[in-house]
Amino acid sequence: MLSDRMYALIGIIYPAFGSVGIIPYMWDKKTKLAVRSSTSQVLIRYHFLFIGHFILYNLIQSIIFYLDKNYEYFNMTFTCFCAALLVYQSFIIMIFFEDDSIVLANALSIFLAHMHREYYPDYDSKNSTKSKLIDLGLVCILLASVVTSVVNCIVNCVYPHLPIFLGYILEEAPPIVKIPFAYVIPCIFVWIIFFNCFVAVCPMYAYGLHILPFLFKELRMGRTNYETPSEVRQPQNLIVAYRSLQLFQQLVNNLVGKFIVPTQAIVTKLIVLSSYMAIKHGDKMEKASFFLIITWAGLAALFWSLMLMIGGHLHVHGKRVLDSWKYHRWGRPFDTKLMSKFRKSCRPIMVSFGNTYRIRRLSGLKFIRGLSRGILRALLTL
Give the residue-averaged pLDDT of 314-319: 89
pLDDT in tens, 252-261: 999 888 888 8
- What single letter denotes the amino acid at residue 316? V
- What single letter denotes the amino acid at residue 30? K
- Is the pLDDT reported for residue 212 higher than 80? yes
- Is the pLDDT reported for residue 242 higher than 90? yes
Q: Residue 64 burial (CB < 10 Å; 0-12/13-18/19+)?
A: middle
CB-based contacts of 134, cutoff 8 Å, min separation 6: 3, 6, 205, 209
pLDDT of residue 1: 67
SS (H, E, C) 195-220: HHHHHHHHHHHHHHHHHHHHHHHHCC
Give the residue-averaged pLDDT of 30-52: 85
- Is the pLDDT reported for residue 305 higher than 70? yes
Give the residue-averaged pLDDT of 184-190: 76
Using DSSP, state whether 33 is helix, strand or coil. Answer: strand
**What ranges do the domains of the chain cover?**
4-380
Give the residue-averaged pLDDT of 240-264: 90
On whether the CB atoms of residues 178 and 172 are closer than 8 A, the answer is no
List phi, psi (to 5°) of 239. Answer: -65, -45
- Is the pLDDT reported for residue 24 higher than 90? no
pLDDT of residue 339: 92
> ∠76-78-81 over CA atoms, to 5°?
110
What crossing angle do the helices spanning 4-19 and 129-158 adopt, rounded to 10°?
30
The model carries a pTM of 0.86
- Is the pLDDT reported for residue 192 higher than 70? yes
Give the residue-averaged pLDDT of 220-245: 90
- Is the pLDDT reported for residue 7 higher than 90? no
- What single letter denotes the amino acid at residue 97? F
Lowest mean pLDDT among 1-10, 243-252, 359-368: 1-10
Band of pLDDT at residue 341, cut at 50, 70 and 90:
very high
Question: Among 44, 85, 40, 43, which residue's Cα sits nearest to residue 62?
Answer: 85
Give the residue-averaged pLDDT of 298-324: 87
* Total count of residues recorded for the chain: 382
- Is the pLDDT reported for residue 172 higher than 80? no
Alpha carbons 190 and 43: distance in angstroms, whole number: 16
pLDDT in tens, 268-297: 888 888 888 777 777 777 777 777 778 778
pLDDT of residue 31: 84
- Is the pLDDT reported for residue 334 higher than 70? yes
Percent of the chain with pLDDT over 90: 11
Give the residue-averaged pLDDT of 39-60: 86
pLDDT of residue 134: 78
Question: Among 253, 295, 254, which residue's Cα sits nearest to residue 278?
Answer: 295
Taking residue 327's Cβ as centre, other Cβ atoms within 10 Å add up to: 8
123-128: which pairs have CB atoms within 8 A and are 24 or more residues apart? 123/1, 123/227, 125/1, 125/2, 125/3, 125/4, 126/3, 126/4, 126/5
DSSP string across 76-107: HHHHHHHHHHHHHHHHHHHHHTHHHHHHHHHH
Taking residue 381's Cβ as centre, other Cβ atoms within 10 Å add up to: 7
- What single letter denotes the amino acid at residue 330? W
- Is the pLDDT reported for residue 112 higher than 90? no
